[in-house]
């Protein structure tokens, strides 16, 4: 009897969660009593459910892992007992969020703006001055 979509989604989520924790496909196959091919199909289904397509699988995995780490860090922050511990966790959260921004390409606009400003400055320095001429020819 074939499993329904909800059951397949739950199974896919379980496989994906273990995979993100470092359990490889062969170990998943043995641990869950699935063939290697079924493990691959469950991983693909979990990624699809997360919104990632085949070309973005690695990005989706990494983004999901970073999200898990950020959530866990926020829980740790609530339980921190000293100022030093709180500051360390805050730095960890900031680092994780920066890694996620980099993964998603969110730092690109700043780089592009700087490159455009540099190109504009270079253009200004290579054009003749409209008032004083081009260097006293």
* pTM, two decimal places: 0.49
* Per-residue pLDDT at 120: 61
pLDDT in tens, 9-62: 999 999 998 998 888 889 999 999 999 999 999 998 988 887 755 556 778 778
Q: Kindly give the residue spans of alpha helices, DSSP state H, lying in 1-137.
A: 5-20, 25-32, 36-50, 57-79, 83-104, 108-126
Other Cβ atoms less than 10 A from the Cβ of 50: the count is 16
pLDDT at 4 over 70: yes
């Amino acid at each position: 009897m074939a499993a329904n979509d909800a059951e397949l989604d739950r199974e896919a989520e379980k496989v994906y969660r273990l995979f993100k924790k470092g359990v490889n496909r062969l170990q998943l196959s043995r641990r869950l009593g699935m063939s290697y091919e079924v493990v691959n199909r469950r991983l693909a289904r979990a990624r699809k459910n997360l919104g990632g397509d085949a070309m973005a699988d690695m990005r989706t995995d990494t983004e999901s892992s970073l999200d898990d780490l950020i959530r866990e860090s926020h829980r740790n922050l609530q339980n921190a007992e000293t100022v030093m511990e709180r500051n360390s966790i805050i730095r960890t959260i900031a680092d994780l969020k920066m890694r996620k921004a980099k993964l998603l390409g969110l730092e690109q606009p700043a780089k592009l703006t700087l490159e455009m400003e540099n190109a504009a400055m270079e253009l200004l320095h290579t054009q003749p001055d409209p008032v004083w001429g081009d260097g006293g020819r």
